[in-house]
Amino acid sequence: MPPLPRSKPEFLPGEDVILSDQGGFRQTHRAGWRPVECFLTNKRLIFFLRPEIRFQIPLRSIQKLHDEKHYYVLKTRPTLRINYLGEKGPREGRVLFITNKIHIWKKKIMQLCFLKVDLSTIQGISAQLDSDGRDILWHLWENGHARINRLADLIQAPNHMHVLVVIRDTINPVAEKELGCPILSFEKRKIDPETGEVITFSWWLIGKKECFLPNEERLVDIFDEGEQIRVIMEVKGITTDDLKLDFHENRVTVRCHKIGASLRVELPFETSVSPKDYRLQIRNNLLEIQFNKEKQHCVSAGIEKHS
């Protein structure tokens, strides 16, 4: 018995399907539309008709996108014209592309091909957000992705819906105004390009990250003082109101996203400290933070000391 024709194209290692739907494409130098299955991955735009790929464009080759309208299947439909560089020489090719919800495909292609995110971009968007929106945006800038429960904990949201409203009604609309497309996207499955890890059901900062937060050399001293831990750190141009502290097991991250005074320092401790009981003060460009150790640890340490 002959093998059955493929129901979808063979994908490359590390290639994830982002969108798929039925549609049609037409190379502008040829007459007639071809009905195909359309696949957008993190590497290619593919037009597939069993048993083979009829046409494909590497995302790195896409140069421009244009909105047009063309007659297809008995009516005029919104169409996307894609300009791309051919594999041989600098000559530019063009293809017309129609599918359901073409506006969603356009946004995704724009995000994958053209959206470049740098520190000044994040700062510009952040300046137009409230405190919850800023915290979510900066967390995803620093970490790349996060599950919704982590974002809810970050801003102490009453529920997950509050996080969704912040993303849908503030962060992404501001990004669309500034960049022409949203900057945060929910993905059921995506590979972290930095670690190769498969991440499921998470929110992602999308676009090509051009640079990271400045990693300034600064004085940081940590003193274990029995029931307390004291930290002294160099800072410039900030007040205690500008600071945010994130507590996670035996680590505390001190961060500030003030324009011109970005700060992100991770403090590793040998024990956990109380997230509800600490003091901050800044004098002569030195930040002093005094943490109280968790009571459970202090009690166990006392028992060990007297045993």
Higher-pLDDT residue of 1 and 46 is: 46
Residue 195 counted as domain residue: yes
Indicate the residue among 67, 88, 113 that finishes a domain: 113
Domain of 190: which CATH number? 1.10.10.10
The pLDDT score that the predictor gives to residue 123 is 84
pLDDT in tens, 20-70: 999 999 987 677 899 999 999 888 999 999 889 999 999 989 999 999 999
Residues 99 and 23 occupy one common structural domain:
yes
Residue 50 counted as domain residue: yes
- Give the residue from 10, 19, 52 showing the smallest Cα distance to 34: 52
Residues 163 and 178 occupy one common structural domain:
yes
Count CB neighbours of 209 within 10 A.
Answer: 17
Average pLDDT of 179-196? 81
Amino acid letter, 258 = K
Strands 208-209 and 116-117: parallel
Which phi and psi (to 5°) does residue 260 adopt? 90, -5
Residues 95 and 155 occupy one common structural domain:
no
Average pLDDT of 132-150? 91
Indicate the residue among 209, 242, 266 that finishes a domain: 209
Indicate the residue among 63, 93, 113 that finishes a domain: 113
- Average model confidence (pLDDT) for the chain? 84
Q: How confident is the model at residue 178 (pLDDT cuts 50, 70, 90)?
A: confident
Count CB neighbours of 147 within 10 A.
Answer: 14
Residue 153 counted as domain residue: yes
Residues 197 and 231 occupy one common structural domain:
no
The pLDDT score that the predictor gives to residue 299 is 45
pLDDT at residue 1 tops 50: no
The count of structural domains within the chain is 3
Domain of 268: which CATH number? 2.60.40.790
What percentage of the chain has pLDDT greater than the value 90?
42
Residue 244 counted as domain residue: yes
Higher-pLDDT residue of 98 and 7 is: 98
The pLDDT score that the predictor gives to residue 301 is 44
266 has which bridge partners? Answer: 253
Q: How confident is the model at residue 217 (pLDDT cuts 50, 70, 90)?
A: low
pLDDT-wise least confident of 110-119, 131-140, 254-263: 254-263
* Range of the structural domain that residue 183 is part of: 116-209
Q: How confident is the model at residue 263 (pLDDT cuts 50, 70, 90)?
A: confident
Distance CA 133, CA 125 (A): 10
Which phi and psi (to 5°) does residue 256 adopt? -145, 130
Residue 233 counted as domain residue: yes
Element of type H or E holding 179: helix 172-179
pLDDT-wise least confident of 92-96, 121-125, 188-192, 278-282: 188-192
Helices (H), 55-128: 102-113, 119-126
Q: Are 129 and 174 spatial neighbours (Cβ–Cβ below 8 Å)? A: yes
Residues 77 and 121 occupy one common structural domain:
no
Count CB neighbours of 155 within 10 A.
Answer: 18
Average pLDDT of 123-138? 91
Amino acid letter, 217 = E
Element of type H or E holding 165: helix 160-166
Q: Where are the beta strands (DSSP E) in 182-250?
A: 184-191, 198-205, 208-209, 220-225, 228-234, 244-248
End-to-end CA distance of the chain: 78
Domain of 53: which CATH number? 2.30.29.30
pLDDT at residue 305 tops 70: no
Residue 214 counted as domain residue: no
Residues 126 and 190 occupy one common structural domain:
yes
Q: How confident is the model at residue 215 (pLDDT cuts 50, 70, 90)?
A: very low
Average pLDDT of 134-151? 91
Residue 3 counted as domain residue: no
Report residue 290 as tokens: 């005094």
Distance CA 126, CA 135 (A): 9
Residues 97 and 134 occupy one common structural domain:
no
Structure pTM? 0.58
Residues 281 and 225 occupy one common structural domain:
yes
Residue 142 counted as domain residue: yes
Distance CA 239, CA 180 (A): 34
Residues 244 and 176 occupy one common structural domain:
no
